[in-house]
A and B are shown apart, each in its own frame.
Chain A
C-alpha cells in the first residue's frame, strides 16, 4: 500500500525563474527505506519540504502536480496535520531543539496532541530508549554533541508515533562514528518498527546496503529509481558525480556483475564474492 504518491510534481520558489524540481513522479510503499541522493542543488531538500507540506503551504511559489502523504493531499491540509503523519529531520539539529531539557523536548509534541500524562511519559521513555539516549533525559540539548542532538531530534519525532520519517542529510554535520550510529538507528526503526524512511544522504558507503530503494536527483529531475544494486551499478551514476562507494567502484572495475552476476554494495559482500570467486549463492 502506497504511503507516498507524488504525481507530476514541479515547483519554483517565489521570485525564482527556474523550477527547483520538475515533473517528479514517485510512489513509496509502506515500510520502504528510500535513499535519496544527488549533487548539491539538485532539488533533494526542496523535495523533502514537499513531502510534509511546508511546500507550498509555508513557502508559497509555483506548485504543480499532486503530493499525497498517508492519504492526505498536501495542498488541502495544513502543515500541523501533515506533521502528525510525517516527521521531518533537518541537517542542523540546533535549529530544531529549543527546550531546556531533553525530556521536555521529546514531550513537546505529544503534549501538543493533548495526550494523557501517563501516555506522554511512556512515549518519551520509549522514544529515548529506541535511539539509545535514555541517560540524557535531564540534560540540556545545548550541552550535547551534534550526534546526540540529532538523536534527540529523532526521538522527539518518534514520540509522535509517525508512520514515516523524512530526513534531510541528518548526518551532514556529524563525525563518522556518530553518523554511523544515527544511520543504524534508522535502519532498525525500519526493520523492527516498520517505520517508512525517506533519507537524503551523501554517505552512500554507510547506507546503500540498508535501503531497499535508491533515488537519484539531478538538476531538479528524478533521474533514477530502483534497487540500490541496480542504481549504483548503472552507467548514469558515474556521470552525475555522486560518491559511489569504493566497494562498488572496485566491483565495477573487476566486472563482477558480468563474471558472476553479483553486485555487492559493501566491503564484506565484495570480499565474500572475491574470496569464493563468485561460488556461493
Chain B
C-alpha cells in the first residue's frame, strides 16, 4: 500500500537525508519508525503525504506515484500529525479547527458536523468547543491536533513524536486509541525515539540510521538486538537491558516473559 523503491533525497549537496530506501508498509499495519536525531525519520514520512518527492527512486501510495499527485489529493488518504501542535493549530475555536479540513475537502455540511461531533466526543473536548486552541494545555493541544486530523478519517495516519510531554497514563490511553484505529483497518505509523512506548505497544519497527533503513521487523527481535541498537545510537528499552543484565538466553521486551525468566533464575514462581 505504501511502497518506497530505491528512494534517495538530499536537502543539501553532498549529504543524503535518505539514501537507497526500500520499504513496504501494508494495509492495516501498526508500525514505528525509529532512529536517532537526524536519522531521516521525518524526511521519510514527508514522502508519504507528498510534502517531499523523491529525487531518485519512486514512492507509491495506494498505487499512485506521489510525483504525479498533489499534496491536497494525498492528504485525504494520509493524515500527518506534527510533533509540535502549535505548528498545526490556527483556527479561532476548537470547533472551527476540527471543521477546517472537512470544509476544505468539500464535505457537505451534515458530514462536517458529524465528523466534528465524533472528534469532540472521542477526545473529550466538549467543554472546549468554543475556546481558542491556544488557551488549551500542552497535552490538550496535542490531542486536538490528532483529533483535527482523525475527524476527516484518513486511511493512513502518521504521528510524529506523539508521546513528548505526555505522562504514562496519557501514553497508554494514546496507545489504546492507536491500537483500536488499527483494528478498525487504519494503517498507523508512529515516528518516535520513545523506545519504551514502542517496546510496550507497537509490534513492528523500521529502524533508520544516517538516512538508511538498517533493520525492519518485529519489535521483539529488533529492540533486543544490542549491536543493532548501538550502531543506530539508540538506548535499549529497559526490559531489553534487564534481559542482558540477567544474561537471559532469550532477551525480551515483554514484561511477563522477563518476570517469568527472572523468577526461574531465583528458583521460585512469581507472586
Question: Which residues of A approach B to under 8 Å, CB–CB?
Answer: 39-41, 91, 145, 169, 172-173, 175-178, 180, 202, 205, 241-243, 245-247, 249-250, 253-255, 267-268, 270-271, 274-275, 277
Contacts and interface: CB of A to CB of B under 8 A. Distances in A.
A276 B187 CA distance: 46
Contact of A274 (B166, B234, B255, B265): B265
Given A40-B139, A175-B36, A267 B168 contact: no
B232 to A, nearest CB: 11
Contacts of A246: 238-239, 242, 255, 258
B167 A271 contact: no
A250 B262 contact: yes
B246 interface: yes
B241 A91 contact: no
Residue picked from B137, B164, B167, B246, most chain A C-beta under 10 Å: B167
Contacts of B168: 39, 202, 241-243
Interface string B169-201: 111000000000000000000000111100000
A145 B266 contact: no
Nearest to A256: B266
B267 to A, nearest CB: 8
A176 B235 contact: yes
Contact of B246 (A39, A41, A275): A275
Contacts of A176: 193-195, 234-235
Contacts of A39: 167-169
Contact of A172 (B165, B241, B262, B263): B165
Most buried by B among A245, A246, A267, A268: A246
A176 B235 CA distance: 7
Nearest to B194: A176
B270 A254 contact: yes
B227 interface: no
Cβ-closest 4 pairs across A and B: A271-B245, A243-B168, A246-B238, A241-B169
B144 to A, nearest CB: 15
A271 B242 contact: yes
Contacts of B262: 250, 254, 274
B271 A250 contact: no
A235 to B, nearest CB: 13
B167 A242 contact: yes
B69 interface: no
A41 B140 CA distance: 11
B126 interface: no
B164 A173 contact: yes
Contact of A270 (B164, B170, B242, B255): B242
Contacts of B268: 254
Say which size band chain B's interface belongs to: 35 or more
Contacts, number: 88
B259 interface: yes
Interface in B242-271: 242, 245-246, 255, 258-259, 262-263, 265-268, 270-271
Contact of B259 (A40, A169, A250): A250
Contacts of A175: 36-37, 193
16 contacts: A39-B167, A39-B168, A175-B193, A176-B194, A177-B36, A241-B167, A241-B168, A243-B167, A243-B168, A243-B171, A246-B255, A246-B258, A250-B242, A250-B255, A254-B268, A268-B245
B245 A254 contact: no
B271 A253 contact: yes
A271 B246 contact: yes
B233 interface: yes
B170 A277 contact: no
A245 B242 CA distance: 11
A180 B235 contact: yes
A40 B138 CA distance: 10
B165 to A, nearest CB: 5
Contacts of B271: 253-255
A250 B171 CA distance: 20
A91 B165 CA distance: 9
A39 B36 CA distance: 27
Nearest to A243: B168
Contacts of A250: 242, 255, 258-259, 262
B93 to A, nearest CB: 19
B246 A254 contact: no
Contacts of B235: 176-177, 180
A263 B139 CA distance: 33
